[in-house]
Chain A
Amino acid sequence: MKHEHKFLSNQQQEQAAEAQTAKTTAKEFASVEELLRHDAAQTTVPPEIAQRLRHSALEIGAPKRPWWRKLLD
């Protein structure tokens, strides 16, 4: 019944909101690969890796250019 909604207690409203949230975040994956692709897309590469690489690169010096790149230039 329409008018019932406004008589819901705060707790009931919270439960209803949680249930609604759960519904909207349900996902269906057609395969394991799709699930893993979704997981990979949600994964953030820590920025520390790039910073550490920069320090490491400074220690080993500038990288050599591939020989085939020189031919293309």
Chain B
Amino acid sequence: MKAPCAGTECLEAAEPRVLSPEFSELYDQHSRAIYYLALRYLGDPQKAEDATHDVFLKALRKLGQFRGEASARTWLYRIAINHCHNLRQTWHDRHIIPDSDSAVWETASAGESPLRILETKELGDRIQRTLDRLPAEYRLLLLLVSDEKLSYEQVGALTGQSDDAVRGKVHRARKAFAALFAKSE
């Protein structure tokens, strides 16, 4: 069986002249973050794979327009968020209904408590189920602020709001997530 390659190994082994070293580096450094955002935001591994491919293909086409004013991570996130929004508008909102029992998590106090869990194979599924029950905005904000390479200011710029607004919403999103996560046991 052929051993799977990872990151730029796949790109470079394939056709080094097609992809510039800059692009290979870009993919190597940011593909996990973009794939993870797509995976947990869209909630479907196949759609996340397609979205990640499309995001990097757009980046490849637009590499000449990238001026280096924003960080590459922020630039890629912007492409990814727009792409995922478009995908969600076409199918996701019709199929995934956030938890309507918002009173449960709006009043919850579990947001600041440590989350003690057993690490199991199902952890990813449980996280996904919890995220699926959150409003899309909360889901996106939590995914973005969990990236240590992004500041609140950058998350605000990516989502079109002030960093103070991001802080407030993330606080509520944390409480909502923790309450729903506890219920998902």
Residues of A participating in the B interface, judged by any CB pair closer than 8 Å: 22, 25-37, 39-40, 42-54, 56-58, 60, 62-69
Does residue B178 face the partner (Cβ distance < 8 Å to A)?
yes
Closest to B175 in A: A32
Closest to B63 in A: A63
Q: B65 — which chain A residues lie within 8 A by C-beta? A: 66
Residues of B participating in the A interface, judged by any CB pair closer than 8 Å: 4-11, 14-15, 17-20, 22-23, 27, 31-33, 35-36, 39-40, 45, 49, 52-53, 56-57, 60-61, 63-68, 111, 114-120, 123-124, 127, 142-143, 145-148, 173-174, 177-178, 181
Contact of A39 among B45, B57, B124 (CB under 8 A): B124
Verify B35–A43 contact, CB threshold 8 A.
Answer: yes
In angstroms, Cα B111 to Cα A57, docked, is 44
Q: Which of A22, A29, A46 neighbours the largest number of chain B CB atoms within 10 Å of its CB?
A: A46
Verify A53–B11 contact, CB threshold 8 A.
Answer: yes
Q: B174 — which chain A residues lie within 8 A by C-beta? A: 31-33
Verify A35–B6 contact, CB threshold 8 A.
Answer: no
Closest to B174 in A: A32
Q: What are 10 A-B contacts with C-beta separation under 8 Å?
A: A25-B120, A26-B119, A44-B6, A51-B14, A53-B60, A54-B11, A56-B53, A57-B15, A65-B20, A66-B68
Verify A62–B111 contact, CB threshold 8 A.
Answer: no
Contact of B32 among A31, A33, A43 (CB under 8 A): A43
Contact of A29 among B10, B15, B114 (CB under 8 A): B114
A45 in contact with B119 given A32-B111, A57-B15 (CB within 8 Å): no
Verify B10–A33 contact, CB threshold 8 A.
Answer: no
In angstroms, Cα B56 to Cα A51, docked, is 12
In angstroms, Cα B61 to Cα A64, docked, is 8
In angstroms, Cα B143 to Cα A37, docked, is 9
